[in-house]
Amino acid sequence: MNKKFISPLPSGGVPITSEDFLMIQDELHEALNSLCAGINDAFVISGCDVSFNGFNIAIGAGVVFVDSQVMKFDGYTGSFPCYVKAGTVVKSPRIYKDGFSKDTITQRKAICNTSTSGNGVIKFNPMPEKTLKYSITSYVDGRITQEITDRTNGDTSLNNRITSEVAALTNSINTKLTKTNEAWQNATYNAGTTNFGSGSKPAQYKKTSDGIVFLRGQMSISVSTGGGYTSFTLPAGYRPSQDMAFKTINTSGTVAADGRVMMYTAEAGVWTLDGISFIAEQ
């Protein structure tokens, strides 16, 4: 397809042959038939008006698309339901210059009878079941319906995914909100460490739901801590991955990876743990 003469044609007497006319004819038929085939398998293009003649119907002449071809229809009078379908090919001769009659034109018209046989037939009962307007409308409606279905399915899938993700996020938030931090636990002192007094908090530790360990309290240490004295040891699950040095208002020390809480001062005294925190990693 898409083959045509150059316009305008060059001057000098264009050599047009019979094959050129056949090309134009074939291109036109192919384009028209392809266009109709994309709409429906068979339908009335124009004409074919229906009227009643006693107990029979009369179908007027028109143009139809049947058996993948556009055809003329000369009309029908008879009983119904009836079926318009492709007829046989009729050849028409012409007298040539050599004096001989030769088949030149072929034409295939649509016919109508009460037999349902044939490819791409149009049923009249009494009105035609397939017309150009009906076929185009059905085609468009079908495409619109499919588009709506596709979009609905896509929206449903997206909604389901959003609902699932929102539910997971909500569950995560609720889990975090409902988590309660554990209570403070008293440290178990080693020899030489005691509580500072009744008015002060003892040495304590706790871990939050996010894995942060906090220390607090005051201790009275009766031994020299210059070399690194272990006041108490944190249990597993409350320890840093590496030794962590700290300094408070009146002492310095280390929380070791094995859980030992050690003080480094030259003299015995009262030491505070307030403000010490770290991530529990083992």
User: Would you state the structure tokens that stand for residue 183, as one six-digit string?
Assistant: 């209570």
Average pLDDT value for residue range 181-207: 89
Q: Before 10, cis peptide (omega within 30)?
A: no
| pLDDT tens digits along 214-264 | 999 988 888 776 667 889 999 999 999 999 988 877 678 899 999 999 888
Place of tokens 């004295």: 229
- Per-residue pLDDT band at 266 (split at 50, 70, 90): low
CB atoms within 10 A of CB 183: 7
pLDDT reading at 165 higher than 60: yes
In 3D, which of 254, 282, 280, 281 has the Cα closest to residue 182?
Answer: 280
CA-CA distance, 38 to 102, in Å (whole number)?
36
pLDDT averaged over the chain?
84
Can you give the pTM of this predicted structure?
0.45
CB atoms within 10 A of CB 8: 6
Q: Please report, rounded to a whole number, the percentage of residues in the chain having pLDDT higher than 70.
A: 89
Q: Between 2.60.40, 3.30.2320, 2.60.200, 3.40.50, what CATH number should domain 185-279 receive?
A: 2.60.40
pLDDT at 280: 92
pLDDT reading at 1 higher than 80: no
pLDDT reading at 126 higher than 90: no
| pLDDT tens digits along 24-50 | 788 887 888 888 877 778 889 889 999
